[in-house]
Amino acid sequence: MLYSKEGQAAWAGNIGHYQAIQHRFDIHEAVATASPYSVSVLAYATDLLYHQGFLCYRFKNQIRLLNVHGAGQKERVLDLDHVVRRIIGIENILSDVGEQTTLLGFSSGILILLVSQTNSNEGILIAIDSQSHPGQARRRRLFVQEPVSSSDPIFVRHTRLYIWCGTFTPANGQGTAWQIWGMDFGTLQ
């Protein structure tokens, strides 16, 4: 309770302890009984991720980032037609880029996408910095552009400094194994 928003407000003396406990109880009860405490439609999407207060979702050929806790802020929009075609090239992409794009991760302002190529089991793993940096007009925004198999299971974890990726692939004719690699965003090594 102490680390919740209500607990911090009670500790600071902004609200009473009873009021903080009652509000927290109402939220837990609403979740436990599946009767919404507060509901709002944030977006309609095909794929979505939620992490660190950001809702990242794909709708048609756009990826949108919405800061759920930042009231009154606008969404950041990434146009897949423009970005993916520029990175990969027109010949490897179908007319509907959105259908070939899968959201894999979003953390610390970095968006990870998997774009499947036409008539192939190959895909390209893309890491893009979605944060704006005023005063740094020529800052690098594309961190990773690595070929991977789009038909094998894949996982991605990343921070602002590093990315780790693993694919479940055939290993030397002896079944399958996880192949894991990592990269430093700063040095691209």
- Which range of 7-21, 112-126, 161-175 scores highest in mean pLDDT? It is 7-21
Residue 152 φ then ψ, to 5°: -90, 150
Contact call for residues 149 and 166 (beta carbons, < 8 A): no
Confidence class of residue 134 from pLDDT cuts 50, 70 and 90?
Answer: low
- Which range of 55-69, 71-85, 111-125 scores highest in mean pLDDT? It is 55-69
Residue 22 belongs to what domain range? Answer: 1-39
Kindly state whether residues 31 and 55 are assigned to the same domain.
no
List the 62-67 sheet strands across, edge first. 47-51, 54-59, 62-67, 76-79
Beta strands in 96-188 (DSSP E): 101-107, 110-116, 122-129, 142-149, 154-158, 162-170, 176-184
Is 189 domain-assigned?
A: no
Kindly state whether residues 31 and 87 are assigned to the same domain.
no
Share of the chain above pLDDT 70, in %: 83
Q: The whole model's pTM is what?
A: 0.68
Kindly state whether residues 64 and 139 are assigned to the same domain.
yes
Kindly state whether residues 177 and 96 are assigned to the same domain.
yes
pLDDT at 140: 62
Is 18 domain-assigned?
A: yes
Domain count within the chain: 2
CA distance 20 to 6: 5
- Two tokens at 22? 């009652």
Closest CA to 165 of 150, 173, 57: 150
List the 176-184 sheet strands across, edge first. 154-158, 162-170, 176-184
Contact call for residues 160 and 131 (beta carbons, < 8 A): no
Q: How many C-beta atoms surround the C-beta of residue 67 within 10 A?
A: 15
pLDDT at 90: 57
Kindly state whether residues 68 and 93 are assigned to the same domain.
yes
Residue with tokens 């399958």: 176
pLDDT at 94: 56
Kindly state whether residues 24 and 72 are assigned to the same domain.
no
CA distance 49 to 95: 24
Over the stretch 85-98, which tens digit does the pLDDT of each residue have?
Answer: 777 765 555 567 77
